[in-house]
Structure 1
Amino acid sequence: MPDAPRTVVVLTEDALTSADVEHITSLHPDDDVTYRVLVPADTEHNVVASVLDHLGMLELRAAWEDLVGREPDPAEATATAAEQVAESVGLLRAAGSVASGEVTEDDPLPTLRRAVSDGGDEVVVVTYPHAVEDTFHTDWASRAREVLHVPVLHLYAGTSELG
């Protein structure tokens, strides 16, 4: 009797890239895996943390744009997240994987917790580097490790670097 498929929950702040999909699918190359992609609608953009992140990465223009920018419109943020889910699921399926996805609230941890309790075997968090959150362990991966009882891997988007 074959083993049940392994479920990997992928929490990402942007659409996955082909490099991200390659890294994620290479974690279980010989296993039957189902992927569930979660993308939060960024309706409550934290300007201070974002500016500090950009300054920490010496991205002065991006820091300035965040500082003088506007809060995202909730409908626009949700629509953008839905596009990112569709793109990510499409790339996973194009790679031969079974995948589904959904948009979450700004704080993705409650949805992530439900996804794990619904049978998620592990979590892969894909984000850009965030100097403040990563340093003080308030990033999604660190928070997930504190409350979930499954392996949590943190990858930086578009790279093979671990967070």
Structure 2
Amino acid sequence: MPDAPWTVVVLTEDALTSADVQHITSLHPDEEVAYRVLVPADTEHNVVASVLDHLGMLELRAAWDDVVGREPDPREATSTASEQVVESVELLRSTGATAQGEVTEDDPLPSLRAAVEAGAQEVVVVTYPHAVEDTFHTDWASKARETLQVPVLHLYAGTSELG
């Protein structure tokens, strides 16, 4: 019986871009890898952290939009996350990779933990820069590193920058 493929869980807050997929798949170019994409439904938007993130990146319009915005509708958030999962999985599959995906709750760490307990050997977290969470190590990658016993790589979406 052949060995099971190396499993990499990809936790992302948005649909993966082709640059993200290229970076992720280049981590194991000569191995059979199965990817499992997790995208949280953002139903509990943290307005304060989001405003500070936007101000830190000098995105004044986005900060204002967060201040005057409203909490996301749970159905819309889940629908958006579902679309992001499909788009990400299709992009990974277009490279010849095996991929599947699912939407998680707002806090993706229980789903991430379950994926690792089910046999995932590595985690790649893809997010946009978040000034508050990244600075105080409360971001998903930092939390995963603290609790999981597998390597965790944090990439910033659309770039080759490490978080």
Where structure 1 has 5 or more consecutive residues not aligned to the other structure, the ranges are none
**What residue is the counterpart of 1:160 in the other structure?**
160
What amino acid does structure 2 have at the position aligned with 1:32? E
**What residue is the counterpart of 1:82 in the other structure?**
82
What amino acid does structure 2 have at the position aligned with 1:93? R
Deviation readout 1:10-58 (Å, 9 max, x if unpaired): 0000000000000000000000000000000000000000000000011
Whole-angstrom CA distance in 2 between matches of 1:66 and 1:150: 35
**Number of positions where the alignment pairs a residue of Structure 1 with one of Structure 2:** 163
Whole-angstrom CA distance in 1 between matches of 2:120 and 2:4: 12
1:133 has 2:109 as partner: no
1:62 has 2:62 as partner: yes
Whole-angstrom CA distance in 1 between matches of 2:102 and 2:18: 19
**What residue is the counterpart of 1:113 in the other structure?**
113
Give runs of ≥4 in structure 1 deviating > 3 Å: none
Whole-angstrom CA distance in 1 between matches of 2:57 and 2:98: 35
**What residue is the counterpart of 1:19 in the other structure?**
19
Partner of 1:28, secondary structure, is coil
1:142 has 2:146 as partner: no
TM-score, length-normalised on structure 2?
0.99
Where structure 2 has 5 or more consecutive residues not aligned to the other structure, the ranges are none
Whole-angstrom CA distance in 2 between matches of 1:86 and 1:151: 25
**What residue is the counterpart of 1:99 in the other structure?**
99
Deviation readout 1:52-76 (Å, 9 max, x if unpaired): 0000011001000011011100000
Whole-angstrom CA distance in 1 between matches of 2:115 and 2:21: 20
What amino acid does structure 1 have at the position aligned with 2:123? V
Partner of 1:159, secondary structure, is coil
TM-score, length-normalised on structure 1?
0.99
Deviation readout 1:95-147 (Å, 9 max, x if unpaired): 11000000000000000000000010000000000000000000000000000
1:32 has 2:4 as partner: no
Partner of 1:89, secondary structure, is helix
Partner of 1:54, secondary structure, is helix
What amino acid does structure 2 have at the position aligned with 1:99? A
How far did 1:4 drift? 2.5
Partner of 1:91, secondary structure, is helix
How far did 1:2 drift? 4.9
Identity among equivalent positions (%) equals 84
